[in-house]
Structure 1
Amino acid sequence: MSHDASPRIRHYPLDVMLQNPDKLADWLLSSLELKSTVFHVGQYCGTWQASTAGRRRASFHVVLHGECWLHLPASAEREAHSLRLSSGDAVFLLRDMPHCLSPDFRPPASGHESARFGTMSPLTPPPAAPTTSPTAPATATTSVGIACGFFEFNSALDDMLLSLLPDHIVARRNNPSLDGARAIFDLIRVEALRDAQTPSPLIARLTDLLFVYALRALGAEDEIVPCFWSLMRRAEFAPLVTAIIESPGERWTTGTMAHFVHMSRARFCKQFVDIAGQPPAQFVTLIRMKLAAAMLRSGARTPDAAERVGYQSESAFSQAFKRVTGVQPGAWRRACTTHDSIETHVSAEPAGSAALQLH
């Protein structure tokens, strides 16, 4: 396979590129093998604090009725902050990270950010609208209905893909980008009220859909932390990302990418890291391995997948694939074939068991 000094890729009109965050959200999720698991649905009254931290898993909270606060302590990437959550809002924590929900706008004391206390009772229909001002803070006497659970990503490749996203996403019910998600939330609430003792397994499927909408809303935010969508919102980088995805076999070196966006190598590398949160070479490798994984899952031979994503050496490709996914290409293909031949079902754990694990 031979390459010219720069990829022969057509440039795309800006008005088309601005639509790409939605398309790329679907593309990104297509290989995440996302499954929502271990649900507990109920409500709190009085003084309480809930958290899904400490399980080494991604997690979520959906506010079914009432209001509460999400508290996130300071980290290397951001200052401590608290967010008010209202009925219909959801938060997706893509890493296991210290956090808690509580009815108090004041954050917990240092060292207690992930503590859990209070009793979650079975969910009941939401109470009548409060007579207080809608801008008043939530109080300890207000009932708050919550659906909580975990995400599982079944592939080692998923961890690399998730590095392209911020560590948490908040989906607001009143966000114009989430118009379609409101119907999903209403279905989640209906399912949550069906049986107070056994959470409906359909909540898992519905939450998966809600997560897709959350990613789309993320692409519309004015200010987001360095991640994949940050690149797509920059006119000078969006065509490059699309070109890499559409032609992964081209010679995407730092030099050719800098030339593509009409920048010097130094300026390109600095801006890319500042915007995406990772070096351009690492990004290209991730995209190539994601596409190769999809080819192998569809039955492609390892040499064919290697060539299509730009590797002349099957050995070099296998090493890169294992470095990203943790397994050899052949083992990946066999595992995917076995996985696809078995019907899998997600079922909720008994409410008592989930309560012990979550709260």
Structure 2
Amino acid sequence: MLDRFSGSVCHRPPAPPPGVPDTLTEILLGLRLDGVEYGRCELRRPWAVAFPAQRAAGFHFVSRGGCWLRTATSDDWMRLNPGDAVLLPRGSSHVLASDPAVPAVDIASLARVAVSENIYLVRGDAAGTSDDGLPDVMFCGTMSFNLDPLHPLVAMMPDVMRAADLAQRDPTVPALLEAMEREVELRRIGACGILARLADVVAATIIRAWVECACSDATGWIAAVRCPRVGKVLAAIHAEPERDWRVPELAALMGASRSSFAEAFTRTVGESPAKYVTRIKMFQARRWIAEGMRISVAAHRLGYDSEASFSRAYKRVIGHPPSETRAERARPRGTGGANLPADAVALAG
């Protein structure tokens, strides 16, 4: 399938053997969203809406009509057609417009009807109308998702993740969005919680489509995920981060000599096998400690002989000692900083 914007062919990674989870599946299974805000926007042409920068990720799905998107980091306009979806993982400021020439108004200035605390309807009326007399319809939302900033996927994410023809590529998407719209319209008890879980799936679907349809010259972690031999090694590391992975064992998984494996892994992933394994171990350690596990227990489970050596490795990768992660657990959580702050992206690189 062709991505209309990039012109690249969609390459789906081969399915793993039964019972062996692939790397992307492992990540998507752990994806959870917090602070989801969801809106249905009906806009009559001509229209242009500006969305300010935020600490949460932004999401748009074009249901009817079409529009153009431009972010603050680009001078180019991206065309979005019905069925297209975009995820802005860093919450970059951006403009959606029926025509790039239309002056933009802030989203906050449009008539907004609150359905519940986190669900809203937006209607924007202009002097003109759409070609068929009906307004353009988009589903817009913000969300903070829990992909750890340590994860290599974070560094690979662009400002805009676009999935062209998402509704055609994945028939479940229209059903999911229909279910989300139904929750908005019926205003039933528990709608916010149900919308959050549905948004989990929609966001994961966009990320999956982005990985599958990345440009054919993709490099780094995305290229590794799409490479059957290296991807198999990554999947094993992610599935068992506590295991004492050594180069000979990983090379055997790939079916190569130690030297050939190390060279291929470093060339594709961008870092040595040992460094990558340590990074993923610390990713798992931070999750465990944030959930309340004692530092000494985490160190032991990850194969470290002493808490001191574990703490040194943790600080080298994460940027602060594990005791600080444990202290953060006791602090009140904010509402908007759980996804991708700039320093976290730098850490992941």
Same fold, judged at TM 0.5 (above): yes
- The verdict on how the C-alpha distance between 1:286 and 1:31 changes in structure 2, with shifts beyond 3 A counting, is farther
Instruction: Check if 1:170 corresponds to 2:166.
Output: no
- Give the superposed CA RMSD: 4.4
Tell me, yes or no, if the aligned pair for 1:22 and 1:219 is still in contact at 8 Å: no
Measured in 1, the distance between the counterparts of 2:320 and 2:215 equals 37
Alignment of 1:68-79 (within 5 A): 68-72=67-71
**Alpha-carbon deviations, 1:185-224, whole Å to 9, x = none?**
11122234457xxxx6354432222112223333432636
Tell me, yes or no, if the aligned pair for 2:31 and 2:204 is still in contact at 8 Å: no
For 1:242-321, list aligned pairs within 5 A: 242-248=235-241, 249-252=243-246, 261=254, 262=256, 263=260, 265-266=262-263, 268-273=265-270, 283-296=276-289, 300-321=293-314
Give the match for residue 42 of structure 1: 41
Structure 2 counterpart SS, 1:55: coil
SS in 2 for 1:241: helix
Runs of 4+ in 1 over 6 A off after TM superposition: 18-22, 138-141
Q: Distance in 2 between matches of 1:59 and 1:68?
A: 16
Corresponding residue number in structure 2 for 1:95: 90
Q: Hey, which of these two has a bigger chunk of strand by percent?
A: 2
Structure 1 range deviating more: 317-326 or 60-69:
317-326
Partner SS, residue 138 of structure 2: strand
Q: Say if 1:17 and 1:45 are closer, same or farther in 2 by CA, change over 3 A.
A: same
Query: Does the C-alpha gap of structure 1 residues 269 and 309 become closer, same or farther in structure 2, counting only changes over 3 Å?
Result: same
Contact 1:37 1:150 in 2 (8 A): yes
Q: Distance in 1 between matches of 2:152 and 2:143?
A: 14
> Helix, strand or coil: the match of 2:45?
coil
C-alpha displacement of 1:237: 0.5
Q: Which aligned pairs between 1:176-255 and structure 2 lie closer than 5 A?
A: 176=169, 178-194=170-186, 201=192, 202-221=194-213, 223=215, 225-226=218-219, 228-248=221-241, 249-252=243-246
Partner of 1:133: none
Report how many aligned residue pairs link the two structures. Answer: 297
| Secondary structure of the corresponding residue to residue 244 of structure 1 | helix
8 Å CA contact 2:110–2:122 kept in 1: the answer is no
Q: 1:236 to 1:313 in 2, by over 3 A?
A: same
Question: Is the Cα contact below 8 Å between 2:211 and 2:222 reproduced in 1?
Answer: yes
Q: TM-score scaled to structure 2, two decimals?
A: 0.65
Deviations 1:220-277 (A, max 9, x none): 3263644644322202201210232244332456x9867864326555423333xxxx
Deviations 1:106-144 (A, max 9, x none): 5x69xx9xx64586446599xxxxxxxxxxxx8797622
CA distance in 2, matches of 1:286, 1:67: 42
| CA shift in 2, pair 1:151/1:247, >3 Å | same
C-alpha distance in 1 between matches for 2:122 and 2:89: 29
How far does the alpha carbon of each residue in 1:270-329 deviate from its partner, in whole angstroms, 9 at most, with x for none? 3333xxxx6655543332122223444565432332243343342232234345556543
Taking the TM superposition and a 5 Å limit, the aligned residue runs for 1:13-28 are 17=16, 23-28=22-27
CA distance in 2, matches of 1:139, 1:284: 55
Unmatched tracts of structure 1, length 5 or more? 1-13, 126-137, 347-359
Letter matched to residue 235 of structure 2:
T
Q: Secondary structure at the match of 1:174?
A: helix
Instruction: Structure 2: give runs of 5+ residues left out of the alignment.
Output: 1-12, 113-120, 124-129, 337-349
The separation in 2 between residues aligned to 1:36 and 1:103, in whole angstroms, is 28
Letter in 1 for 2:302: V
Matched residues in 2 for 1:185 and 1:266: separation? 44
Q: From the superposition, tell whether residues 66 and 213 of structure 1 become closer, same or farther in structure 2 (CA, over 3 Å).
A: same
Q: Within 1, Cα distance between the matches of 2:210 and 2:133?
A: 33
Q: How far apart are 1:148 and its partner, in Å? A: 2.4
Q: Flag the 1:279–1:34 CA change in 2: closer, same or farther, 3 A.
A: farther
Cα shift readout 1:4-51 (whole Å, capped 9, x = no counterpart)? xxxxxxxxxx97637899754443245555314344432222333234
Partner of 2:118: none
Distance 1:179 1:140, change over 3 A: closer
What does residue 130 of structure 1 align with? none
Question: Structure 2: which amino acid aligns with 1:240?
Answer: V
**Contact 1:54–1:98 at 8 Å: present in 2 too?**
yes
Q: Which residue of 2 aligns with 1:84?
A: 80
